[in-house]
Amino acid sequence: MKRFILAFTILFSISFQAQTDPKIYDIIDAVSEERLRNDVKTLADFGTRHTLSDTLSETRGIGAARRWIKSQFDTISKDCDNCLEVFYQKDLVEKGTNQRIVKDVMVVNVVAIQRGTKYPNRFIIMSGDIDSRVSDPNDFTSDSPGANDNATGMAGAIESARVLSKFKFESSIIYVGLSGEEQGLFGGQGLAKYAKENNWDIIGVLNNDMIGNISGVDGVIDNRTFRIFSEPITTDETDPEKLARQARGRRFYGGEVDGISRQLARYVYKTTKTYMPEMNPMMVYRLDRFGRGGHHRPFNDAGFAGIRIMEAHENYTQQHQDIRTEDGINYGDTFEHVNFSYCKKLTAVNAITMASLVSTPPSPKEVGIGGIVEASAKLKWNKVEGAKGYKIYWRDTTSPTWDNSRFVGDVTEFTLEGIVIDNFFFGVATVGEDGHESMVVFPNKIIR
Ligand SMILES: [Zn+2]
């Protein structure tokens, strides 16, 4: 009996200390550079994928591009016993909605859902964009290959579907090509609205926008670093009184840098550091690049966690440019500038983040914290069905990452002896099978 207990204890502690799941390494290996290259080439070869471009041709324009994307998802689905629900989600955007909508246009997204076995209505979303543009945002006829911006993100979503559709997960995954990005983030708005109408329980959105450039306009060449943009707090609250109450709460209890999108960014960071230690994830504490936008924002506006994953070094001569040569510089977002081994790595970052998130039960909804004028902080949370246990995280208030943690087993409250509440930020995550963890939840209640 004693020996049995000892063996059990060793097994138990190994499984929770190692915290790596061999399946995740298989997923990294399965992402194909070759298929990404082929798909970006195919997308670039549609000539232009401008949102307002031709929809009837079979070879040129956004119509041909989205039909091809749908055909890829359909093929993937056939190969996995129809494991994907593939459909177009569309909204009419009327002429004059903004200056970039110069005629009525149907903004069409291509959606592929891989249903979870246990939480079919709980989703992690990976998005890329279908559309492209040149120097004049309203020029919908000129050649606009959009190889890096954003055929790479689109190809990444398709490739992730190929890889992850070979597995079964507890929660659902959505792979999506969004349209209308360059004209004003219309595809994201449409899908966020659709998600609300259909009561989707969204874990988060991984918006991939330009994941293939390693050679920056600053001269830096770097195939290891990538950026994760996240806004500090995410809310769809509009009632000024409630907003004021939330702000007051943050002033006294913290939380200014701990919104749900920020927790998602930290999750991507941690998962990358664990499974792809050769990579340098770089969290940027802002919504997006300075003054610029991306398709995670409409999801943030709707109250969902959403981040942007992208290269660290951009090349502006290869973004939103007419194809031309000027002063010896080749302008244009063309196929030959894309680095596919980097694109493969960032695709793998998405795939392993999603695989981890859909392999674990949901985060606790309610997390309370207490310990004012006491020597020890205590945390309390709601029980999550199917959880193997919970992990308490804490960090110095100036640290961007959850640096300290303690697995506390299958309990719903715990006191961290000697850890003073004033000096750290705290959070709680659910731990599921194979040691996978949910996103960390920052306390949303005070216990007295
Ligand atoms: Zn763009």
Residue 10's pLDDT is 47
Distance 83 CA to ligand 1 centre (A): 31
Q: How far does residue 412's CA lie from ligand 1's centre (Å)?
A: 46
What was the pLDDT predicted at 1?
46
What pLDDT does residue 146 have? Answer: 98
Model pLDDT, residue 434: 84
* Cβ–Cβ under 8 Å, residues 332 and 341: no
Q: pLDDT for 364-385, tens place per residue?
A: 999 999 999 999 999 999 999 9
Burial pattern 237-255, b for ≥16 Cβ within 10 A else e, equals: eeeeeeeeeeeeebeebbb
Instruction: Give the pLDDT score at 16.
Output: 44
Q: Specify the pLDDT at position 205.
A: 98
Q: How far is the CA of 294 from the centre of ligand 1 (A)?
A: 8
CA of 186 to the centre of ligand 1 (A): 13
pLDDT score at 87:
98
| Cβ neighbours around 45 below 10 Å, total | 16
Is the distance from CB of 97 to CB of 189 less than 8 angstroms? no
Q: What angle do CA 250, 255, 261 make, to 5 degrees?
A: 130
**Which among 102, 185, 176 has a CA at the least distance from the CA of 141?**
102
Cα(195) to ligand 1 centroid in Å equals 24
pLDDT at 3: 54
Residue of 67, 154, 39, 171 whose CA lies nearest to 113: 171
Q: Dihedral of CA 200/203/207/208: which sign?
A: negative
**Using CA atoms, how far apart are residues 241 and 253, in angstroms rounded to an integer?**
18
Residue 272 Cα to ligand 1 middle (Å): 25
List the chain residues with pLDDT less than 70. 1-19
Q: CA-based Rg of the chain, rounded to a whole angstrom? A: 23
Q: How close is the Cα of 148 to the center of ligand 1, in Å?
A: 9
